[in-house]
């Protein structure tokens, strides 16, 4: 009986490898879904994805996403595509649990599913293309705030939403690192902005009024950061309230040059989109599997694979000295 069981497992493994290698060199269709279309950050990711598809020459890239940061809209879009059976669905998730049933449905139909930028539940995808470790990002943000506002500064956070997986993971680790390394730093409040520049501006203004003692504000999404910076600028708090966060150089350039913001922390979203497409291609070819230590990704060279995560690399810092060198 045990011999039959082993034979069955080996047969399944052989079948999976055969189906993977059969795609090697053949054109594949990749549906890449951002959290929201039309903002600088995800536009830059799209640029990198298109570059990778062109470099490979064997990827038909479909880049579609909702016009609002809605997991319901993401799920509807993916549901519509499941029947067309693309080879890979790659999604930056607005909610890790809410989108999981849709992604599992895609996997059950034989579609490879990966996540990028923001993860889903682990059993709803094969790999997560992570821009940097959650720990590295959290530490970079907290250390920069301590440097600018002081190790005992009262601070606040403007996030995108409480359900976005990357936001919640960063925030969890920010709190833990703050408590460990800067125990006198006090977190006054956390406010969502739902990927809306206007709402980020409003909630930051509310924070400045409700907490006049605040010395630093984190904007931990590409929209929350410029919204928070604009509020600090208009409130006449430049140089008095530090604004630290994650966004694109293009969105933050003016705030850096006028001194409202000293440092922008991010990664290269063009490279993130590029790496996501190479991950999709490698998964279809059977050259990426659990247990691998690295992936070869075109102009990016080797990138680390850690378990079921493909890592882009450590965060980057943009300041007045280098921010004009980047056009995303």
Q: Report DSSP state, residue 236.
A: T
pLDDT of residue 147: 98
pLDDT of residue 20: 45
Res. 156: pLDDT tops 90: yes
Q: Which of 263, 292, 288, 267 is nearest to 278 (CA)?
A: 288
Quick: pLDDT tens for 56-107: 999 999 999 999 999 999 999 999 999 999 999 999 999 999 999 999 999 9
Edge-first strand listing for the sheet containing 316-318: 186-192, 154-159, 216-219, 242-246, 264-266, 316-318
How far apart are alpha carbons 73 and 283 in whole angstroms? Answer: 26
What value does the mean pLDDT take over residues 121-143?
Answer: 97
pLDDT-based confidence at residue 24 (cuts at 50, 70, 90): confident
pLDDT-based confidence at residue 10 (cuts at 50, 70, 90): very low
What value does the mean pLDDT take over residues 259-288?
Answer: 97
Q: Which domains does the chain have, with CATH numbers?
A: 26-130+269-312 (3.40.50.2300), 134-266 (3.40.50.2300)
pLDDT-based confidence at residue 18 (cuts at 50, 70, 90): very low
What value does the mean pLDDT take over residues 176-200?
Answer: 97
What value does the mean pLDDT take over residues 270-285?
Answer: 98
pLDDT of residue 185: 98
How far apart are alpha carbons 155 and 321 in whole angstroms? Answer: 26
pLDDT-based confidence at residue 15 (cuts at 50, 70, 90): very low
pLDDT-based confidence at residue 25 (cuts at 50, 70, 90): confident
- Residue 219 near residue 226 (C-beta atoms within 8 A): yes
**How does the average pLDDT of the chain come out, rounded?**
93
How far apart are alpha carbons 274 and 32 in whole angstroms? Answer: 11
Res. 11: pLDDT tops 60: no
How far apart are alpha carbons 73 and 76 in whole angstroms? Answer: 5
What value does the mean pLDDT take over residues 112-140?
Answer: 97
Quick: pLDDT tens for 199-258: 999 999 999 999 999 999 999 999 999 999 999 999 999 999 999 999 999 999 999 999
Res. 12: pLDDT tops 90: no
pLDDT of residue 138: 98
How far apart are alpha carbons 178 and 58 in whole angstroms? Answer: 46
Q: What is the pTM of this model?
A: 0.87
């Amino acid at each position: 009986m045990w011999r039959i069981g082993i034979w069955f497992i080996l047969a399944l493994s052989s079948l999976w490898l055969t189906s993977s290698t059969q795609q090697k060199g053949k054109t594949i269709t990749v549906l890449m879904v951002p959290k929201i279309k039309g903002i600088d950050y995800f536009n830059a990711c799209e640029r990198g994805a298109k570059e990778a598809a062109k470099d490979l020459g064997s990827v038909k890239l479909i880049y579609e996403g909702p016009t609002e940061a809605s997991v319901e809209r993401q799920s509807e879009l993916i549901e519509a595509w499941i029947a067309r059976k693309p080879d890979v669905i790659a999604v930056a998730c607005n909610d890790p649990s809410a989108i999981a049933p849709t992604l599992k449905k895609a996997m059950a139909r034989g579609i490879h599913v990966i996540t990028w930028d923001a993860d889903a539940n682990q059993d709803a995808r094969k790999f997560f293309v992570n821009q940097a470790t959650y720990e590295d990002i959290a530490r970079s943000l907290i250390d920069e705030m301590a440097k600018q506002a002081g190790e005992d500064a009262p601070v606040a956070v403007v996030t995108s939403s409480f359900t976005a997986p990357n936001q919640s993971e960063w925030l969890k680790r920010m709190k833990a690192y703050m408590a460990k390394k800067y125990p006198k730093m006090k977190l006054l409040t956390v406010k969502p902005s739902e990927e809306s520049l206007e709402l980020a501006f409003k909630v930051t203004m509310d924070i400045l009024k409700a907490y006049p003692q605040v010395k630093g504000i984190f904007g931990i999404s590409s929209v929350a950061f410029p919204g928070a910076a604009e509020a600090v600028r208009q409130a006449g708090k430049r140089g008095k309230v530090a604004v630290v966060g994650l966004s694109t150089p293009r969105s933050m350039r003016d705030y850096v040059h006028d001194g409202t913001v000293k440092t922008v922390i991010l990664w290269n979203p063009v490279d993130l989109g590029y790496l996501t497409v190479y991950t999709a291609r490698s998964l279809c070819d059977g050259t990426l599997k659990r247990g691998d230590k690295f992936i070869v990704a075109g102009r990016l060279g080797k990138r680390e694979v850690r378990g079921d995560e493909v890592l882009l690399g450590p965060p980057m810092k943009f300041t007045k000295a280098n921010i004009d060198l980047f056009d995303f």
